[in-house]
Amino acid sequence: MGRVYAVASGKGGVGKTTTVANLGAVLAAGGHETVVVDADLGMGNLSGALGVDPEAGPTVNDVLAGETTVEAAMREGPAGLSVLPASNDLDDFGPAAPANLEALLESIDATVVLLDTSAGLSHDSVEPLRVADEVLLVSTPEQGAIGDTVKTREVAERIETPVAGAVVTRATVDVDPDALADRLGVPVRGTIPEDPSVGVAAEAGEPLLTSAPNAPATAAYRRLAAELTGDESLEPAESDEPAGDEEGGESTEADSEAESTDDTAEASDGDDTDGESDPEAESDDEDGGGGFLRWLLP
């Protein structure tokens, strides 16, 4: 097992699944043996972002239920990426035991493993953070998303899993990464600009690398991959860089309208099926099951 990153945030709809799919594709295409695992056991949609049919064979849920092996559930994804999809059948949620995730990861032979986690605070969402080597936070620049991401950082710190930093998605030209880093309490390792190509790729079930190789968001995910691994060969070539501002040029009114399509498309991402969840509802989840995690965030 190589380096395991849990890609996490407290709120759904911020682009965790999009980040796992696109970061994974860039790493795999760049020669890093990479596996992406959908650890959102109830509402996973990582497979949809990568054009993988979860019904075509066993899933992560089956592995965690002790019914099959990792090798049997592994699928071939785009750009040489290996995918462990979650089931989209609600009946498969109950038998899947998150406590078996560590054993599942130990049986994966790869350089990098990216875990797509669920939103909120529950045993299902915290266990991936516990078993990962590092946590990579994902947030939009909005105040509510940042507040929930800070809570996720605090959970990672309490269970003593290092935080690799944060990725800020849907970043406009006026976003200040240093100011966001101060608010999040961790370095911002990459900013992903608002880009209509993100929604188009999600609808097509393709990573940006194949759907829109020269898009601003694609270049941003390339820079993120290089930043995390230290592999400068993953950086976008000059011919791949978009014209104008390095992080995607000036945001136009048309781009903003197209981005609203992205919001809908990203809402189908595994973490994103929850959308902008109600803080009161998340609080109810936290107190469910006998008060699990009350000790984490008193």
For residues 233-268, one letter each, b for 16 or more C-beta atoms within 10 angstroms of the residue's C-beta and e for the rest, the string is ebbbeeeeebeeeebbeebeeebeebbeebbebbbe
Rounded to the nearest 10 degrees, how much is the dihedral formed by the CA atoms of 266, 271, 276, 281?
Answer: 160
Token couple for 165: 């930093």
SS3 state at 114: strand
Residue 189 lies in a domain: yes
Cβ proximity of 93 and 65 under 8 Å:
no
Cβ proximity of 35 and 7 under 8 Å:
no
Q: Across the chain, which distance is largest between two alpha carbons, in Å?
A: 55
- CATH of residue 182's domain is 3.40.50.300
How far apart are alpha carbons 121 and 118 in whole angstroms?
9
Residue 292 lies in a domain: no
Residue 297 lies in a domain: no
User: 97-133: per-residue pLDDT in tens?
Assistant: 899 999 999 999 999 999 999 987 777 889 999 999 9
What do you get for the CA distance between the two ends of the chain, in Å?
34
Do the bridges between strand 163-171 and strand 34-38 make them parallel or antiparallel, or are there none, so unpaired? Answer: unpaired
Residue 86 lies in a domain: yes
Residue 162 lies in a domain: yes
Residue 271 lies in a domain: yes
Cβ proximity of 216 and 249 under 8 Å:
yes
For residue 22, what are the domain limits? 3-283
User: How many domains, the chain?
Assistant: 1
Do the bridges between strand 75-76 and strand 82-84 make them parallel or antiparallel, or are there none, so unpaired? Answer: antiparallel
Residue 208 lies in a domain: yes
Residue 262 lies in a domain: yes
* pLDDT profile of the chain (298 residues), mean per 10: 91 95 98 97 92 94 95 97 90 82 96 94 88 98 95 96 98 96 98 97 96 98 97 86 46 40 42 38 38 49
User: 74-101: per-residue pLDDT in tens?
Assistant: 999 999 999 999 998 776 777 888 999 9
